[in-house]
Amino acid sequence: MSNQDRRTAFLHEMGLGPVWSQRAAVLQTLEHEPVLLMASAETVEISVPVAAPVPQQRAAEPTLSAWGDETPAAPATVPMTAAVSAVVKPASDVANMGWEQLKEVVSNCTECGLCKGRTQTVFGIGDQKAKWLFVGEGPGRNEDFQGEPFVGPAGKLLDNMFISMGLKRGENAYIANIVKCRPTDANKRDRPPTAEEVDACMPYLQRQIALINPTVIVALGKTAALSLLKLDPATPVSKLRGTVHRYDEIPVVVTYHPAYLLRSLKDKSKAWADLCLAMQTYTARENG
């Protein structure tokens, strides 16, 4: 797929197309039905040089959780993970673990208070040798139930971002989160993890990154970006975009969280610009 086709496909997938080519042609290229037209809007500011978007009927606004996910009501009883008397592993041990041991330790982890509310840990998914690593914030309600990152509406958008980049969930990309257990507030709604929770969980992601050794990391949203880059929590995502940062030697490109993009249409074309930067960075590193 050429860059132009990808951009067309991406904007289309996000409900902003058609751009230059006809919708039918885009669909043919993608060979699948668009799933994200719920994000269609009346007015869209596009900062990339594309034709004006076709106004579309706005779908009914879904009920949004803290992250914008439209999530089903929680069942009355949430199964709790049984307390496990696994030996606590210090960070130095984690840094030497292989995949199997790491998964096992994470699934039994009680290093922070999030262990108490989880249905299960959400370790991450994808090709263990993936060249692309996408890092989100932490599991939401859907992810906590299913044990897989980004399976709610934000995940559908992420899947569409993958398609537009020529990637596919589970194949050449790995998806992980900063924290592996779902953070909730007093009303059982999703919330961002605290600094302590991030610190407690970080050795696991650090080990995942070391094992994968990706060519490029894409940080999805503020929590992922600031935690990976160890920056001041007051830094807005908008300040981090457009620059290639580093985690050790690995380039990190920062973009908006997909759940935020579901609510903020005007930033979707900026997200495409971020993904273009990530793709350029990838090509340069793979060839250089």
Residue placing its CB nearer to ligand SF4 in the complex, 122 or 157: 122
Q: Can residue 150 be called a binding residue for ligand URA (CB under 6 A)? A: yes
Out of 39, 44, 65, 67, point to the residue binding ligand URA (CB under 6 A): 67
Length of the chain measured in residues = 288
Q: Is 139 in the site for ligand URA (CB under 6 A)?
A: yes
* Residue 200 contact among ligand SF4, ligand URA, none, beta carbon within 5 to 8 Å by kind: ligand SF4
Among 17, 138, 203, 214, binds ligand URA (CB under 6 A): 138
Q: Does 111 bind ligand SF4 (CB under 6 A)?
A: yes
Smallest distance, ligand URA to C-beta of residue 215, A: 22
DSSP codes joined into one string, the chain = --HHHHHHHHHHHTT---SSS-HHHHHHHHTS----GGG--S-----SS-PPPPP-PPPPPPP--TTS---PPPPSSPPPPPP--PPPPPHHHHTT--HHHHHHHHHT--SSGGGGT-SS----EE-TT-SEEEEES---HHHHHHSSSS-SHHHHHHHHHHHHTT--BTTTEEEEES-SS--B-TTS-B-PPPHHHHHHHHHHHHHHHHHH--SEEEEESHHHHHHHHT--TT--HHHHTTS-EEETTEEEEEE--HHHHHH-GGGHHHHHHHHHHHHHHHHHHHH-
Any contact of residue 106 with ligand SF4 (CB under 6 A)?
yes
Task: For residue 183, state whether it binds ligand URA (rule: CB under 6 A).
Answer: no
Binding test (CB under 6 A) with ligand SF4, winner from 9, 26, 109, 225:
109
Q: Which of 47, 69, 68, 40 is nearest to 276 (CA)?
A: 47
Shortest-Cβ-distance residue relative to ligand URA: 136
Residue 109, binding choice from ligand URA, ligand SF4, none, Cβ under 5 to 8 Å by partner class = ligand SF4
| Interface pick for ligand SF4 out of 8, 119, 120, 121 (rule CB under 6 A) | 121
203 binds, among ligand SF4, ligand URA, none (CB under 5 to 8 A by kind): none
Q: Which stretch, 63-71, 156-164, 179-187, 253-261, contacts ligand SF4 (CB under 6 A)? A: 179-187
Selected binder of ligand URA within 136, 193, 203, 214 (CB under 6 A): 136
Residue 192 sits in the site that holds ligand URA (CB under 6 A): no
Q: Which is nearer to ligand SF4, 158 or 201 (CB)?
A: 201
Alpha-carbon distance 214 to 111, whole Å?
27
CB 81 within 8 A of CB 120: yes
Choose the one of ligand SF4, ligand URA, none that binds residue 5, judging by a C-beta under 5 to 8 angstroms depending on kind: none
As measured in angstroms, the least distance from the Cβ of 174 to ligand SF4 is 17
